[in-house]
Structure formats: C-alpha cells, structure tokens
Structure 1
Amino acid sequence: MGLLYLVAVLLAGTPLYSETVIEASKLVDLTYALDENTVYWPTGKPFEWRKEEWGMTAEGYWYAAANFSASEHLGTHLDSPIHFGKDQLTVDQIPLSKLVGKAVVLDVTGACSRDADYRLTSSDIRTWEDQHGRIPDGAIVFVRTGWSKFWPDRKRYLGSDKDGDTANLHFPGISAEAASILAERKIHGVGIDTASIDHGPSTDFPVHRILNGAGIYALENVANLEQLPPTGTSVFALPMKIKGGSGAPVRILAILP
C-alpha cells in the first residue's frame, strides 16, 4: 500500500479495502523544486547540484549519481524552533504529529499589493476568525501575500539580488502582535509565501523570536497557496531529517477537502 493510501486511512478512517482513496486533483504540492535558480537568503549559500556519473557504464548498464550542497534555509524550507529559540527543538526532534495539521489560510494579497513591506496584523487574524471561527489548536497557519508571483526573480522577490545585502530587502511578513496571537492559538506551524515570516526590512526578527521561542516552526518560500481554500485542507510538512539542524529543505503536501 502506498503512503498516500495509509495517510488517508489515518485521516478519515477510510476502510482498508478501498484502493482509490485520494484523487490526484485534490493533491497540491506547496514546494518549489531546488535548482540553480532557487532563491536563498543573501548571507547563505546557493543550491549546487553536480553530476558525478551520468551515462552508460563500461559494463553496459545505465548509472546516474550526483552530489549537492545547500544552505539549510533556502527554497521551500522549514525553520525549526531552535533557529531563534534557545533550547528549542532541532529539525530532527520535531514530532511527526506536529508536522501534520489542518491548514488555515490568511489572504492578505490586496494589502501586500499596495505595500511591499506589509505585515499581517492582529486585525487580519480577527477578521478571519469572525468568518471561520477561532484558529484551532494544532493548525498550520499560512499567510498568503501573493509574493510567489515574483519567484524565482531574486531582485523582485527579495528586494535585492546581491549576496550579503540584507539592508535593502523588501517583502511582506507578519507583525509581532499577530505572531503573539498565533502563539496563543497553540498552532503547530506558520507558513508564508515569502523568504521570511519577518518582513524584509526587519533587523531583529521579532516574529521568529516569538514563534520559535514558543516551539512553533516556520515554513518559508511556500508555493501554490492560491490553490488552498481558507479552511479544510490537510497539510503534511516533511523536512529533510538533519540531526541537530536549525532548519532544512521541506516537501509540503496539501490534500484539499
């Protein structure tokens, strides 16, 4: 039996005799592929992938193998709580149960189109809760800014395409006040379709400190959020299991209701 079949059984108690559990149309990949164009933090290192063997061997069979290197925090990735939270969990220590949750999607694309440095507010959260009810415990909250339209153009996506330049970054994020409310909601994680949960001009990263300090991980550079409804989607965020890691590339799977 495949992984998705077993996942669906766990999610919905689907009888084991069913062979068509999840329709392909309900699966959404929230992950960007890693390649030479992958956006990375200006002080980090880019993704590098090198073919070592790629072709027919002298013995007459095909063989392909490559090596790669990358920063922990590039492309679609997970910030583990220890990233900005002293003595918090490393990426390999996050329980699987916390990497699964119901998605809450907060859409602030309109505000972000008017202000590149917009930050999700407490009012945005309350407006969503007025319409859909209180954010449930164990949710994975996604902030949709619309910034994915600029991927992978580093200049437009980050505000600067120069390595080492963190002084000229401009992209939306989350306010410290909103982060405090999200921490109170006892959520598992927060995701966003920009390079950071703190907006571009931030120099002291209060949102990371608040959320990571509360044991909440972050998912950054998330793709395809426009395909998710405000509620009802199940999400699985599976990072590379780097022992002691402050973060890792992550594959995020969404199953639509």
Structure 2
Amino acid sequence: MSFFNARRGMSALVLFFICGLTEAQEPDTRSPGAPNADSAGRWLTSGEIVDLTHSFDQDTIYWPTETGFRLIRGKAGITEKGYYYSANRFAAAEHGGTHLDAPIHFFDARNTVDQIPLEKLVGEAVVIDVTKSCAESVDYQVDVADLHRWEATHDRQLVDVIVLLRTGHSRHWNDRERYLGTDKVGPEAVADLHFPGLAPAAALWLVEHRSIKAIGIDTPSIDHGQSDRFQSHVTLCGHNLPVFENVASLQKLPTEGALVVALPMKIGGGSGAPLRIVAFMPLRR
C-alpha cells in the first residue's frame, strides 16, 4: 500500500468514527452553522488544527501540594553501531499541567481514566467567554446566567457538546504566582489560591437540565481558587463527566463549531492523567 493510500485510509477511518458520533446525537439542537458529519470531514482534510495543550517541562504548573513534572535525562548520542539514540524517563503527578480529571477523582465508584467512554472525549466545542467578568474579579465563578446568555445568543441548548470555559486566566501561565494566586507550596498554599472557576449552582444546572459530554477550563481547577468544598467537582464527577483543567489557547476558538479531541494518557485506575487536547477548526465562511 502506498503512503498516500495509507494516509487516505486512516483519514477515512477517523472520519467514520467522528461521523458515527455525530449521527448518534439526539436530539439535534444545532444551529445551521454547527458541525455535522460532512463538516467534520472537511475539518480533517483542510481545517486548521489548534493545540489547546500546555507543554510539560520543569516549569509546568501543578497543584501546590503536588510535586511537579520531572524529565530524567537518559541516553543520548551515537551508538557503537553508528545510529543516533535517545531515551529519557519522566515522573509526574496525575493532576498538573493540561490534564483530565476522571470522575473518580471526586466521587467513589465512578469512571477511572481508562473507563471514560471515548464518545465523551470527542465532540463539538462550545466556548463560554467570561473574560470580561474575570478581568473584574479573579475569583469570578461562571454562573447559570452566563450559560443562559450563551444559549440565547446562539439560539441552541448545551446538549451533546464539550463546554469550554474561557476565563482568560491562561494568559498568566508563565507567571506561577499570578496563575495560582500565591507563590507558596504545600498545604498552607491552598487557602491563598485565587483564580476563576465554575459556580456550584451552574455545575448542578448543567447536570440536571442539560446533557453535555465534558467540560474544561483555562484555570488550575474547575472550582474557583477559594473553594474549600470543591462542590463543582463533586457534582460533575458524580454524574461521570470528565473535566479538563489548565486548557490553553481558548481565545483561538470560535464560540461554536470547532471539533475537540481530548485524549488523556490511558492510566489504568487513574484519577487523572496528562491530556493532549486539540481542536479542528471549521472552515471560514
């Protein structure tokens, strides 16, 4: 088989999977510009791909009670047989950098990382832009009114979509103190955390009145920094919803119509995992 045919075959296979996910969606609440099986195929062949992932390195931000990412350099160089070879090791906590929270992270007897259905990790991205409110208060919590406002503006409901909360906080990613709200480490740092999140009432509204696939945010946690009960986590995880945290570059996405693929490291029994999340952009009209 030629390289061209192999590549075309792989594209067809991926398209078949995505079309199957799209066709399975009921009810259809999409606006005319929202994705369908045909537009999914166009994204794969000619659309822009946006990486929504922060790189993992020695500067990657982790929860202040966790040890950060370590890349342990191994072999690198020309072997005695004349070819180049390099291999390293890494060590990291589950929850840091761009990562996925599995439902079991905050609720017993729910999905571990390896048990999350792939259908929940692939879907249309809906971007809720609350950057203006978050600029006024670093502790802002996305509320039900913000979700209603998006629905009214786009004339559709939040159904069978991946909701991404754009707070604008990711602009501080290269400044750990501003991103977390403190330069402290260890348990004493938790009380000094300051960043936006999802209000518990909004999390409850989503699980009781809508049916989303997953939810993500461009901050360290789906609960705002000053939360001490993590109620949004508990509500979402209790309903087996995956959560994406420390998502990058949400300002590059449209408010609807992009296709998101969010694949975590498949850790058996894991409560979380590093995540590579990308968006296939719709064609510009």
TM-score, normalised to structure 1's length?
0.93
Name the counterpart of 1:236: 261
Match of 1:155 in 2: 177
Aligned residues: 253
AA aligned to 1:22 is T
Query: Residue 199 of structure 2 contacts residue 223 of structure 2 at CA under 8 Å; is this kept in 1?
Result: yes
Kindly indicate whether the alpha-carbon contact (under 8 Å) linking 1:5 and 1:21 is maintained by their aligned counterparts in 2: no
Match of 1:29 in 2: 51
Q: Post-superposition shift, 1:11?
A: 3.6
**How far off is 1:97 after superposition?**
1.3
Whether 1:119 and 2:144 are equivalent positions in the alignment is no
Specify which structure has the higher proportion of helix.
2
Contact 1:77 1:248 in 2 (8 A): yes
Instruction: Please report how far the alpha carbon of residue 131 of structure 1 lies from its aligned counterpart in structure 2 after TM superposition.
Output: 1.0
Give distance in 2, aligned partners of 1:126 and 1:188. Answer: 18
Structure 1 residues 126 and 21, CA gap change in structure 2 (3 angstroms): closer
The residue type equivalent to 1:83 in the other structure is H
User: Which residue in 2 is equivalent to 1:210?
Assistant: 235
Which stretches of structure 1, 4 residues or more, deviate above 2 A after TM superposition? 1-14, 18-23, 133-138
Letter in 2 for 1:80: A
Contiguous gaps of at least 5 residues in structure 2: 1-5, 20-36
Shift of 1:166: 0.6
Equivalent position amino acid for 1:173 in 2: G
Which residue of structure 1 aligns with residue 33 of structure 2? Answer: none
Unpaired runs of 5+ residues, structure 1, are none
Please state how far the C-alpha of 1:96 moved relative to its aligned partner: 1.0
Structure-2 residue corresponding to 1:188: 213
- 1:5 is displaced (CA, Å) by 5.4
RMSD between superposed Cα atoms in Å? 1.8
**Residue 203 of structure 2 corresponds to residue 179 of structure 1:** yes
Contact 1:78 1:239 in 2 (8 A): yes
**Residue 140 (structure 1) aligned to one of 133, 139, 162:** 162
For 2:120, the equivalent position in structure 1 comes to 98
Match for residue 85 of structure 1 among 77, 92, 107: 107
Deviation at 1:10, TM superposition (A): 4.0
Work out the CA distance in 2 between the residues paired with 1:128 and 1:206: 23
Q: For 1:63 and 1:105, how far apart are their aligned partners in 2?
A: 42
Structure 2 CA distance, aligned partners of 1:4 and 1:145?
34
- Classify the secondary structure of the residue corresponding to 2:45: coil
In structure 1, how many angstroms separate the alpha carbons of the residues matched to 2:65 and 2:75?
A: 31
1:58 is displaced (CA, Å) by: 2.4
Contact persistence 2:43–2:281 (CA under 8 A):
no
> How many percent identity over aligned positions?
49
Contact 2:167 2:217 in 1 (8 A): yes
